[in-house]
Every structure is written in C-alpha cells, then in structure tokens.
A and B are shown apart, each in its own frame.
Chain A
Amino acid sequence: MKTITMNLKKSLLFAGGLLLAGQSLQAAGADDPIRTMLLMDKFEILDNDDNSREWEGSFYVGYDLDKLYIYSQGAATSDGLERSQNDLVYSRAIAPFWDIQAGIAYDKNSDASKTWGEIAIAGLAPYFFETRAALLLNGDGNVGLRLEGEYEALITQKLILTPSIEADFYTKDDPVMQIGSGLSAMEAGLRLRYEFVREFAPYIGVTWEKTFGNTRDFNPVDETSLLAGIRFWF
C-alpha cells in the first residue's frame, strides 16, 4: 500500500505540474487548448487471500491529435508491491478512432524490474470496444504482446456494466520477472459502477486471473475474486 501511495503521490505531483503549465497556455475560445486528464479507471480491493489492492489508470497531457500518456497498473498487498506495469508513450492520432503510441514500458515486481521499448495501438474498435495492443521489445531479445479490451454497457444512464479482458504473451522465459513464453497471463473482469457524477463512480465487481504455460511454474495463479473500488477522473 505504501508503494501505491508513493506512486500515486509521484504521479499526482507530475500531473499537477503539467496541469498548471496547461492552463496558462489555454486561451479562451481556442480550438485545441492543451489539456490534461487523470483517469483512475480501477482503484480497488480484492476479496482474495492477501486482500490485494489493484489499480489501473492513465494520465495524459496534450492536444486533439498529440498526447503524452502515462499508463500504470499493478497490484500490492500488505507486504508491499507485488507487480506493476508502467508505460510512458507519445501518442499520435492516425485515424479517426486510432492512436499510434511509442515509448517505454517499465515492469516491476517485488524483487526485480525490466524496461522495454514499446509500440502500441490504442483506440475505439467497431462495436465500441475500447482496445489497446502493445508490442514490447527488450534488449535480451524477449518480445511481449499485451492486449486489452473493454466494453461499457449502460444498464441505465448512470449504472454501467464493464466487462474487460487482458492477455499477455512473450517469446521467451524470464524467471526473474516471473514470465514464461507463450500465453503468460489472462485476466477477465466484470465491474458494475454507479456514476454519481461522470467524474466519480464507486463500483463492485468480480475478477478472474490465471497464469498459463511456463509462467504457471514461476507464479501459479488461478483465482476468482470479488472486488470493490472507485473510478474517478479529473
């Protein structure tokens, strides 16, 4: 939890700095003023053995077509950080619904870390699927592919059900990072949130996580957990 707080503090500080910079540049009536957005999409406690806390969020600063993005997701228990995946990418719109992104990714677990070069495609697929596919390359020759997809189904105007799915693949084993070649891990979730206002929505949900192949040998996971959390942005 401490690490999360620290991480959050750091990113808030960064966000705050850019926010101020952004507003001073913002002229009234400007077509494309610089703007920032911090979205904490998931910020939750799981009802599993170690009551892990998980987060997934993004921050951007930029314009209609060009943005600088920070993505961060991970989990922590009372013993500290379990794992996190972080990305810093420059994002450029290439089509009405699609951005191409390039930058670096930084993975961390309790006792090791790994940095990747990253190229990704993010955007809204037909049928309103919010998607992101990232290709990761590391100096040691390992190649990773991380896929994410999410859908928002409106039960009412404020009650929103969000199924999501994530899958990670790698070409090589990396025991220190607890990843194995092939399909390494999958996570599927279903979250039901209530938007008191657009910017603030508590939710409950269920998530299923599983590791596969060699990853299973390093880090066997197969669990379904109930969860509660809040989603917010500003």
Chain B
Amino acid sequence: MTTDIQELQGIASQVRRDVVRMVHGCQSGHPGGSLGCTDYLVALYFSIMKHDPSFNMDGEGEDLFFLSNGHISPVFYSVLSRSGYFDKAELGEFRKINSRVQGHPTTHEGLPGVRIASGSLGQGLSVGIGAALSKKLNGDDRLVFTLHGDGELQEGQIWEAAMFAPHNRVDNLIATVDVNGQQIDGPTKVVLSLGDLRAKFEAFGWEVTEMRGNDMAQVIDGLKKAIELSGKGKPVMILMQTEMGAGVDFMMGSHKWHGVAPNDAQLEQALAQLPETLGDY
C-alpha cells in the first residue's frame, strides 16, 4: 500500500502494458474502457482499500470491490494479479481455453479476487448494495466500492438500485461511474443520452462527487473525499470523467477501441508509450 503518486503512476503504467498485451495476446477483449479505468483501479487496490490478497469470498473486515461493467476485465485482472491475488503469469491466459481469467470475470472458475460474475450489464450496483447490507448486518464497518460504465446506466436495474440505496440509507457504499461518454455504437449522447447525471443521482438521494479519473492525484483525493462522505446516511456516487483508451494516444478520444484488439505494430506503438515498472508477465 502506498500513497506515493509517482509510484502509483508507475504501477498504472505497468497495468496499462498488461492490458494491451492481454488483449493483443488473444486478439480479443476491451482495451478502451480498461485503460480509462486503470488509474481508479490502481488507486483502489494499491492505496485506498483495506483488502487481503489471500482472499476469502466473505471478505469480513475488508473493503470490497465489485466490477459491474465486466468487459473491462483486463484491467481488473491485472490489478488483482499485481496486488498479489494470483501469479501474473496467469494474465497470459486471458480469454484462452481452460483458464481462470475468462473473457468476463466470474467466480465460477475460482479466480481469487472475484466475488461476482459480471458481463451482462446493470447488475453490479444491486450486488454492491446487497454486500453493503450484509456488512451492516455483520457489524462490519468496512466499505463496498462498485464501478459502472456510463453506457451501463441505460439498464433499468441501475435505477431500481439507485432508488433503493438512499431509501435504505446504504451509506457504506461508494459507487463510481466511469463517464467516458462512449459506448459500442458510438457516443452515449448519440446512442441514448444520460442527461445530467449529478442531478439524477442527487434527485434519488445520493451524495454525489466528481473527479477526473486519469489524474492519479485527483483520483486519490477524490476517493478519500468519497470515503469522508460515507457513513452519513447516504450512499456516495463518484462521477469519474475519463478518457477511453487513456495512456495510449491512438486509442484515445473515440469509441473505436471499446472492443478491438491491437495488431502487432499497434501493440509496439502502445508499449512504447508505457514504461515497464514491475516486469511484464
């Protein structure tokens, strides 16, 4: 665990290398959103959350994280592995037959660090609420974090959950929406507008805070602020502005790299922008 911003930026660089190499290695997967959420996940697992890589499903006395937009599995797997949940060599098996690192995260293959399957969108906020209620019943004062894509908010279940959490004072929950403005078919503004997310969540009764998600210092500060806002009767929502493909110049600013793998030359081009800090898998 570290609070050193430079060190965290270094880890993020390695995680981004993992992401592009994993997706390249199987010629499949979702690099764009993974790169956009890298700083957030690195901050969570290397600086913010109290968690135990020896892993047990119940996570008593630990902070828990649930990935709702499961397609950004590459960054999730890399961060889990780099923070000690399993050997980094396993990242090379991403999306390949007989592996635990499935295309989308699952508990089914027993990969340490994964507590729920996700991939079909819109379910993770409900699960996070359930886990947060479970902690309250157990007298466990640790927090539950969830991450969602902005396109994912188009699923109706999200709004069922959004209504439930404030009504039931689920204030040990910190949800984050990755607001990158992109989804498979194009910009969210074109596909289905999300409107004023702050106003929407505030209207439901959430405490809403915002941060830029590709600035490590801001992410650390933003998460700390969210933690300060927790425990006061309201669930906390972080609207996190990110750039899809952050860290790899030619992947940024478009939805094109949502679910496309780089070819050999593109991989080299990407890796040239991302210093190796912890050793490749």
A binds B: no
